[in-house]
Amino acid sequence: MPIERNLLFWNTKGRDKCILPLQEIVKNNRIDILLLAECPADTAAIASKIGLPFVSHSNAGLTFFAAMPELIVVNDQNIPINAQLAIIPDPANPDPTADNLIIARLDVGDMHILLAGVHLPSKWQGRDANTQANFAEKCRRYIQIQEGLQNINQTIIFGDFNMHPYEMGMTDSKRGFRTISSSHIAHRRNTIGYRGITRRYFYNPCWTLFGDFIPNSATSRPPGTYYRSPQNDTDTYWNCLDGVLVSPEAIPRFVLPSLEVITNNSSVSHKLYDGKRLKPGYSDHLPITFTLTY
């Protein structure tokens, strides 16, 4: 009998106004694990309002909240399963990526998953594609070290990457996160790529979040997760900077139809997107949600 855990990420831009819609989003989507970037300062107040205990945060404001009950509800029945989310301390050696990463080990019964939350530097702060790719590579290597130390290869990386799925820091097989849009290719675990070099690729399902078109539907969706007024001729208004990466070993755990950009909830006054643009006063990012099964 499959058991699911629902995860949510949102870069709240440090705005307290986001707490009320966050409270409803967590409730309406039955969120079990929440990761915030640029989290408002009062984590205790947030935890109380959303009903998810505060777990830990990084220096960069990446903050985990999680409900880890010993009884998990499955088909309206309480199933006794030991669940725990534990933050993994940084290694003794200093690492320049430490402030931009927070890593936790999720243990639910016999399932063990590494959750790596990220908030990477912005391209609009003077960083070119090469700089971002080098930083992404450092993050990937750091996460790989933790996989070895924890003896876990089922890994989920999610958060604000500040890069589109197609950018160098995401797709470069020599540097960056080594991601690909095909779960079939990524699931091979060791893919023979350019010049016959074998590498492990992460699956990036967030290519599906581009554009406002929903097949076979009369409704539309936001064209990305982040809106920014154009600053040059190549800016695209909407950007897909927030997302989730799935290791080959974790692909069977990832429920693809669950990946969604959250825009509205039961309260009209707290809609985050009006069908054309982001509602003012909230974050310039939209939250994303996805589900893991085991």
Q: Could you tell me the pLDDT band of residue 88, with boundaries at 50, 70 and 90?
A: confident
- Domain contains 118: yes
Per-residue pLDDT, 109:
78
- Domain contains 122: yes
CATH of the domain at 148: 3.60.10.10
- Domain contains 220: no
Q: Could you tell me the pLDDT band of residue 93, with boundaries at 50, 70 and 90?
A: very low
Choose from 90-94, 222-226, 264-268 the range with maximum mean pLDDT.
Answer: 222-226
Specify the amino acid at residue 125. Answer: Q
- Domain contains 180: no
Per-residue pLDDT, 217:
66
pLDDT tens for residues 160-203? 999 999 999 999 888 899 999 999 888 876 666 666 667 889 99
d(CA 241, CA 256): 18
Name the domain count of the chain: 1
Per-residue pLDDT, 1:
60
- Domain contains 222: no
Residue 248 has pLDDT above 90, yes or no: yes
pLDDT tens for residues 23-81? 999 999 999 999 999 988 788 889 999 999 888 877 667 899 998 765 555 555 555 66
pTM summary value: 0.89
Per-residue pLDDT, 230:
61
User: What would the two tokens of residue 135 be?
Assistant: 């930083």
What percentage of the chain reaches a pLDDT higher than 90?
43
pLDDT tens for residues 113-165? 999 999 998 877 767 889 899 989 999 999 999 999 999 999 999 999 999 99
- Domain contains 232: no
Structural domain of 52: 4-161+248-293
- Dihedral (CA of 71, 84, 148, 3) sign: positive
Per-residue pLDDT, 159:
97
pLDDT tens for residues 207-226? 988 877 777 666 667 878 88
